[in-house]
Amino acid sequence: ARQAYIIGNKALAKELSMKGQLHNVHMKAAHGKARESIFRQ
């Protein structure tokens, strides 16, 4: 996203940034599920 922004492709930069944020949310949710699973054992 940063490279796209630097070269001036702001639309692509925004799209990539939003995808990255979505992946981050999914990763945090997966970590939460894993943490719950580990502590239940």
Backbone phi and psi for residue 9, each to the nearest 5 degrees, phi listed first: -90, 80
Cα angle 20-25-28, degrees, rounded to a multiple of 5: 120
pLDDT in tens, 1-41: 999 999 999 999 999 999 999 999 999 999 999 999 998 87
Q: Is the pTM of this model over 0.85?
A: no
Predicted local distance difference test score (pLDDT) of residue 36: 92
Structural domains of the chain, count: 1
Identity (one letter) of the amino acid at 24?
N
- Domain of 16? 2-40
Predicted local distance difference test score (pLDDT) of residue 17: 97
